Amino acid sequence: MPARVLAGSLVLALAACSSPFKEDPNSQASLDKLYSEAKEDLATGGYDRAIKGLEKIEGRAAGTVLAQQAQLDIAWAYYKSGERAQAISALDRFIKLNPSSPAMDYALYMKGTVNFNEDMGLFGRLASQDVAERDQQASRDALLAFRQLVEQFPDSKYAEDAAVRVDFITNTLAAYEVHVARYYFNRGAYVAAANRAQSAVKEFETAPAAEEALSIMVRSYEQLGLPKLRDDAERVLRKSFPQSQYLAGNERVAKKPWWKLW
């Protein structure tokens, strides 16, 4: 080989050796490194940076278990940074795109928890100012998510806690409905009071607050001059709660409502 050609070959070889190695961003090693960095950001509270890294993983590893995990971690990062709406949106997207995912029970549990914690102030607000127009959608969304988890994944490690929360939220919503019915009754809006109390009984018939709801129906129909409806409501009250303090002859000092924590 001519010396000139050999020298040229050596130059090219040396140039190739000295050029920086570009790692494939879609390789498993790159994805693992990116995910490790995102997890570190999550652990240290760098949620915005973590979300950006996780979104890259989701795009590059589409269709893999790692992409599913990235989606869940994105929801968690939004939740921890106080962005509830974005967290719920991310979870809804995961649930829609991954119906057969082994992590579906966790996604439902997380969705319920995000909404549950959003509305945990309900008890403290029950006795506050005008509550008639308060929106309880977060509680209802949490209830739906926890119910779905319990029904579809009864053996899930999250099922037992979800069932407890179902009962808790059911009782909370029932107490809220009765509180609103009482609010209307005390202001002389007897039709609204009767309708709200009836709604509470139909939707939450097994909740403790159903007792007072029936009582409000009885008193509201009495005020409206509707004896037949009054008697029907009282008959249900007697059958469902024979020892009710709201029935004649059973009067006693009212106990603190079950939801009163103070």
Q: Indicate whether 260 pLDDT > 50.
A: no
Q: Indicate whether 85 pLDDT > 80.
A: yes
Question: Is residue 215 in some structural domain?
Answer: no
Question: Is residue 48 in some structural domain?
Answer: yes
Question: Is residue 237 in some structural domain?
Answer: no
Question: Is residue 159 in some structural domain?
Answer: no
Range of the domain at 46: 24-83
Q: What is the pLDDT of residue 32?
A: 87
Question: Is residue 30 in some structural domain?
Answer: yes
C-alpha separations of 182 from 82, 243, 259 in Å: 34, 21, 15
Lowest mean pLDDT among 22-26, 146-150, 175-179, 226-230: 22-26
* 28-53 residue pLDDT tens: 888 889 999 999 999 999 999 999 99
Question: Is residue 57 in some structural domain?
Answer: yes
Q: Judge whether 47 and 56 are in contact, CB under 8 Å.
A: no
Q: In total, how many domains does the chain have?
A: 1
Question: Is residue 35 in some structural domain?
Answer: yes
* Residue that wins the pLDDT comparison between 160 and 139: 160
What tokens does 47 get?
Answer: 């949620």
In whole angstroms, what separates CA 11 from the centre of its chain?
A: 64
Burial class of 90 by CB neighbour count within 10 A (0 to 12, 13 to 18, 19+):
buried
* 130-152 residue pLDDT tens: 444 456 888 899 999 999 999 99
In whole angstroms, what separates CA 112 from the centre of its chain?
A: 3
Question: Is residue 7 in some structural domain?
Answer: no
Helix axes 47-60, 28-43, angle to 10 degrees: 160
